[in-house]
């Protein structure tokens, strides 16, 4: 039962353009969502999060949008930089699951100079 | 501030052998997590400790996997005996509080290959 899905395994964009990474979930009990970035041979690092009571959270070049009715969230990176090339994981937490995170499969973002 | 440390970084074993991984969390972090990440998938939580007590081990295959966190600091994860499908990266993470509003900090992981 894949409760968090990232349907695009990979995304390629030009430097300076916008990157949009998408994530869908099925569990309506999820109340907190996070994005992690992972470079090769390193562990995931926290990027940005959003509570289910909000529909947008912004941090510098990174903005996360949450559409609860569609059970969909997206991460926007503007402008994209070559150093943003990494695997991005969407994760969600449920009210009844303590602090357990459920991760999506990840999307490999490549930003071309 | 030192990050989460894990060792070894890589391990190759034959099926049915035993293996153990070690994790040292960030100093002061009471909550420790072990995740399994199979190639092409996201990390899956195996077990969560709060200090030296188990909070969540519902997804741990207890017939072959075990974990302990003595003295509420370092932790070890053991697989005995290993199966081919255990090939994965094992990630350790820690957080200051139990709730996820304080984000989890991950170590570099141990890549296990079972032949």
* pLDDT number for residue B1: 63
Residue B110's Cβ-count burial label (10 Å; 0-12, 13-18, 19+) is: buried
* pLDDT number for residue B99: 58
Q: Which residue carries 């997590």 as its tokens?
A: B33
Per-residue pLDDT tens for A18-72? 999 999 999 888 989 999 999 998 999 999 999 999 999 999 999 999 999 999 9
SS3 A24: strand
Cα of first residue to Cα of last residue in chain B, in angstroms, is 37
Mean pLDDT, to the nearest integer, of B101-106?
A: 78
B81: preceding bond cis by omega (within 30 degrees): yes
* pLDDT number for residue B72: 81
* pLDDT number for residue B100: 54
Of B56, B101, B109, the CB nearest to A98: B56
SS3 B9: coil
CB A90 within 8 A of CB A73: yes
Share of chain B above pLDDT 70, in %: 95
Q: How confident is the model at residue B2 (pLDDT cuts 50, 70, 90)?
A: confident
**Burial track B32-56 (b if 16+ CB lie within 10 A, e otherwise):** bbbbbbeeeebbbbbbbbbeeeebb
Q: Which residues contact B60 (CB under 8 A, 6 or more apart)?
A: B46, B47, B67
Q: Which residues, listed in sequence order, are joined to residue A72 by a DSSP beta bridge?
A: A24, A67
Two tokens, residue B38: 């199979």
Alpha-carbon distance B44 to nearest alpha carbon in chain A (angstroms): 7
Alpha-carbon distance B111 to nearest alpha carbon in chain A (angstroms): 9
Q: Do B109 and A100 touch (CB under 8 A)?
A: no
SS3 A10: strand
CB A91 within 8 A of CB A36: yes
Which residues of A make CB contacts under 8 Å with B? 4, 9, 32, 34, 36, 41-46, 49, 89, 91, 93, 97-101, 103-106
């Amino acid at each position: 039962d894949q409760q968090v899905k990232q349907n695009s395994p990979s995304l390629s964009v030009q430097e300076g353009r916008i990157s949009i990474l998408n994530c869908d979930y099925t569990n309506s009990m999820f109340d907190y969502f996070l994005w992690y970035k992972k470079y090769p041979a390193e562990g995931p690092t926290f990027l940005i999060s959003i509570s289910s009571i909000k529909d947008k959270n912004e941090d510098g070049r990174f903005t996360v949008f949450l559409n609860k009715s569609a059970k969909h969230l997206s991460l926007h990176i503007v402008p994209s930089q070559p150093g943003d090339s990494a695997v991005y994981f969407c994760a969600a937490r449920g009210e009844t699951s303590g602090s357990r995170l459920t991760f999506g499969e990840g999307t490999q973002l490549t930003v071309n100079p | 501030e030192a990050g989460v440390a894990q060792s070894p970084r890589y391990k190759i074993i034959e099926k049915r052998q035993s293996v153990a991984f070690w994790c040292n969390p960030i100093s002061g972090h009471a909550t420790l997590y072990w995740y399994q990440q199979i190639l092409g998938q996201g990390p899956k939580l195996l077990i969560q400790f709060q200090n030296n007590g188990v909070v969540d081990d519902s997804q741990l295959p207890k017939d072959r996997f075990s974990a302990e966190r003595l003295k509420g600091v370092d932790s070890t994860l053991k697989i005995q005996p290993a199966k081919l499908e255990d090939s994965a990266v094992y990630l350790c993470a820690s957080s200051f509080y139990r709730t996820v509003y304080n984000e989890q900090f991950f170590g570099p992981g141990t890549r296990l290959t079972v032949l």
